[in-house]
């Protein structure tokens, strides 16, 4: 391997690639030469190359704080970085706090500490006015119109993020990355394993397009993040063409992490291909917390549609963090079933309660049903406080959005705020735990439901054969449907003033305790003629609220039946 050891010294790019050292810290205004033999660049603080095609047909390693930036020129843009344009296999390795940068970027002035030149502490050496010149490079694996599998396997291996000055940014930065049909697969996996992202490392790519319909292209997540850093409306990083597959796989127990740095995003580019997600947990992160109607609004949805062709094969949870607003625009798009986990709605820890209360920032993550019907195993919130609790909402102008839990008889949890025109359905034989959840409508069609931690719904419907326990507040109507009422011997039902109960069965609906408008209803059996809170049917209240038997543990103590009974039962409180 040829090593270009340019420790704090570098000349023109042609000289660097020829293996010679010169005396400048920054290499600029020259063309980056082709890489035809294994090459390592070390200690080249900044390389700024003119826009011209670059062919990398042998391994290239950036090491020891080497920062390679290929810039654009309007006369020559776009230009391509061609990885593996020949039959030789090629690996681009970025390590030692180095960076490979080809994406569009402005504000390159060193006075701006929020961009990469500010982080290096070096002004753009090309002079005044150059710092806003955009880059029009694209990265391509293989060659256009080449025979399938005719070029070598190509891989980008990231090992660290560059750390110039006070901060760090992505180890690989590209506006476009195309995988041509000519790229050969890894002989051991049969896939085009084109990108590895280790822990704490970011690959910033606005669009990845797999054009190979013969071999799946795979990103190996080893704890790192794939970032989309492009403000274009409805841009998407995952764009396999029709008939092609892009695989996102967490390896060795690592999670899959995706982030949209700007607001608008589609899950994929909807070019007809399939995205397979394989591994353990999947993390989605999205910046932008300022809602519409506030100056600087940047809280926009991340859209998921049936045309995205996403196949969920992960075994863990789908976790939202920061300010994710995921909007579904077709039915049945989310992961569910016994082979996968739940949805977890996180929050932005940087937003204060005061900012959230004033309406200038949204602190929580959000699932937007947008008039669709979605199946999930469960929805939980990581925010303990009510103002940070995750939200299930529906922004569709007319259609109701429906959240279905318990399909395939799985157990689940609902711990979220459900807004107007969100209907929650419980199906399947499993048990649903509803914890600190609020909403407009809950329809229990099968299985059992346990309510805990101040649950409240406008309307609750429970079918025959279902079971309810715990404590829930109903502000509208509680309806027990079917020829037999649901089992609710452990249910503490609280009706708001004006709320009603309707029982369709001929036999009584039995609850443990009942309050109406905060007042306890005495134990007994009530008919619609006797109670203004009972719209139809018969209800039996086992205990007056406040006088109910307390929960005790069975100890088995006592030499006689009477002694055992005295030891194991608590008396009602008068």
**Tens digit of pLDDT for each residue in 439-474?**
999 999 999 999 999 899 999 999 999 999 999 999
Residue pLDDT, tens place only, 244-277: 999 999 999 999 999 886 555 667 778 899 999 9
Question: In which band, very low, low, confident or very high, does the pLDDT at 367 lie, cut at 50, 70 and 90?
Answer: very high
Taken in order 102, 269, 344, 381, the sign of the CA dihedral is positive
How far is Cα of residue 458 from the mean position of the Cα atoms in its chain? 30
Contact 379, 390 (CB under 8 A): yes
Contact 324, 348 (CB under 8 A): no
Which of these, 231, 175, 227, lies nearest to 203 by C-alpha position?
Answer: 227
**Is residue 234 over pLDDT 80?**
no
**Is residue 233 over pLDDT 90?**
no
Mean pLDDT within 20-27: 41
Query: What span, in angstroms and rounded, lies between the C-alpha atoms of 472 and 555?
Result: 30
- DSSP percent split of the chain into helix, strand, coil, nearest 5: 5, 40, 50
Mean pLDDT within 174-180: 89
Contact 8, 45 (CB under 8 A): yes
pLDDT of 174 reads 82
pLDDT of 571 reads 41
> Cis link prior to 78 (omega < 30° from 0)?
yes
pLDDT of 143 reads 93
Q: Enter the tokens of residue 89.
A: 């296999």
Which of these, 4, 37, 36, 38, lies nearest to 22 by C-alpha position?
Answer: 4
Query: What span, in angstroms and rounded, lies between the C-alpha atoms of 21 and 4?
Result: 8
Q: Show the CA angle centred on residue 246, arms to residues 244 and 247, nearest 5°.
A: 140
Taken in order 183, 187, 191, 193, the sign of the CA dihedral is negative
Query: What span, in angstroms and rounded, lies between the C-alpha atoms of 27 and 50?
Result: 11
pLDDT of 71 reads 65
**Is residue 23 over pLDDT 60?**
no
Question: What would the 3-class secondary structure string for 421-473 be?
Answer: CEEEEECCCCEEEEECCEEEEEEECCCEEEEEEEEEEEEEEECCCCEEEEEEE
Residue pLDDT, tens place only, 66-99: 878 776 554 455 678 899 999 999 999 999 888 8
Query: What span, in angstroms and rounded, lies between the C-alpha atoms of 546 and 519?
Result: 10
Contacts of 60 (CB under 8 A, 6+ apart): 35, 38, 39, 40, 41, 90, 91, 92, 93
* Percent above pLDDT 90 for the chain: 57
Higher pLDDT, 161 or 168: 161
> Which parts of 498-570 are beta strand (E)?
500-503, 509-511, 513-516, 519-520, 524-527, 534-536, 538-541
Q: Enter the tokens of residue 136.
A: 């029009």
To the nearest 10°, report the CA torsion of 415, 420, 426, 427: -140
Query: What span, in angstroms and rounded, lies between the C-alpha atoms of 553 and 543?
Result: 20
Question: In which band, very low, low, confident or very high, does the pLDDT at 8 lie, cut at 50, 70 and 90?
Answer: very low
């Amino acid at each position: 391997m040829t090593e270009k050891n340019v420790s704090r010294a570098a000349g023109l790019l042609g000289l660097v690639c020829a293996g010679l050292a010169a005396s400048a810290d920054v290499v600029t205004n020259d063309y980056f030469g082709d890489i035809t033999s294994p090459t390592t660049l070390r200690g080249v603080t900044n390389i700024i190359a003119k826009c011209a095609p670059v062919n990398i047909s042998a391994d290239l390693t950036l090491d020891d704080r080497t920062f390679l930036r290929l810039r654009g020129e309007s006369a020559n843009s776009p230009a391509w970085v061609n990885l593996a344009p020949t039959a030789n296999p090629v690996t681009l390795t970025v390590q030692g706090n180095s960076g490979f940068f080809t994406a569009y970027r402005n504000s390159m002035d060193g006075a701006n500490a929020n961009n990469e030149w500010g982080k290096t502490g070096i002004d753009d050496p090309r002079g005044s006015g150059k710092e806003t010149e955009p880059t029009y490079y694209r990265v391509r694996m293989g060659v256009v119109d080449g025979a399938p599998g005719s070029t070598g396997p190509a891989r980008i291996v990231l090992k660290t993020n560059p750390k110039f000055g006070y901060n760090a940014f992505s180890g690989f930065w590209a506006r476009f990355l195309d995988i041509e049909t000519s790229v050969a697969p890894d002989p051991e996996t049969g896939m085009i394993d084109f990108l590895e992202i280790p822990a704490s490392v970011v690959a910033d790519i606005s669009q990845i397009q797999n054009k190979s319909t013969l071999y799946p292209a795979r990103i190996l997540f080893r704890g790192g993040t794939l970032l989309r850093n492009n403000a274009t409306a409805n841009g998407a990083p995952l764009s396999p063409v029709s008939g092609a597959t892009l695989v996102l796989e967490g390896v060795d127990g690592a999670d899959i992490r995706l982030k949209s740095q700007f607001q608008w995003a589609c899950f994929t580019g909807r070019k007809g291909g399939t995205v397979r997600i394989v591994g353990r947990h999947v993390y989605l992160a999205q910046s932008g917390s300022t809602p519409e109607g506030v100056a600087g609004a940047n809280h926009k949805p991340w859209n998921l549609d049936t045309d995205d062709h996403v196949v969920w094969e992960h075994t863990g949870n789908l976790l939202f963090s920061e300010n994710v607003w995921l909007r579904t625009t077709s039915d049945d798009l989310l992961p569910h079933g016994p082979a996968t986990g739940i949805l977890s709605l996180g929050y932005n820890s940087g937003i204060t309660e005061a900012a959230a209360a004033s309406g200038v920032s949204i602190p929580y993550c959000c699932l937007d049903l947008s008039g669709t019907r979605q199946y999930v195993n469960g929805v939980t919130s990581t925010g303990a406080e009510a103002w940070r609790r995750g939200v299930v909402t529906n922004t569709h102008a007319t259609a109701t959005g429906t959240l279905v839990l318990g399909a395939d008889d799985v157990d689940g949890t609902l711990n979220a705020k459900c807004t107007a025109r969100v209907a929650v359905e419980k199906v399947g034989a499993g048990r649903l735990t509803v914890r600190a959840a609020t909403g407009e409508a809950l329809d229990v069609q099968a299985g059992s439901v346990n309510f805990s931690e101040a649950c409240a719904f406008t309307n609750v419907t429970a079918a025959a054969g279902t079971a309810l326990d715990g404590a829930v507040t109903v502000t509208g109507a509680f309806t027990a449907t079917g020829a037999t009422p649901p089992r609710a011997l452990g249910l503490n039902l609280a009706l708001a003033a004006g709320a009603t109960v309707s029982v369709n069965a001929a036999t009584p609906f039995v609850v443990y305790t009942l309050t109406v408008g905060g007042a306890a209803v005495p134990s007994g059996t009530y008919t619609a003629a006797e109670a203004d809170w009972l719209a139809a049917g018969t209800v039996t209240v086992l205990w007056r609220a406040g006088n109910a038997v307390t929960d005790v543990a069975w100890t088995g103590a006592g030499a006689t039946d009477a002694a055992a009974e005295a030891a194991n039962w608590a008396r009602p409180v008068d």
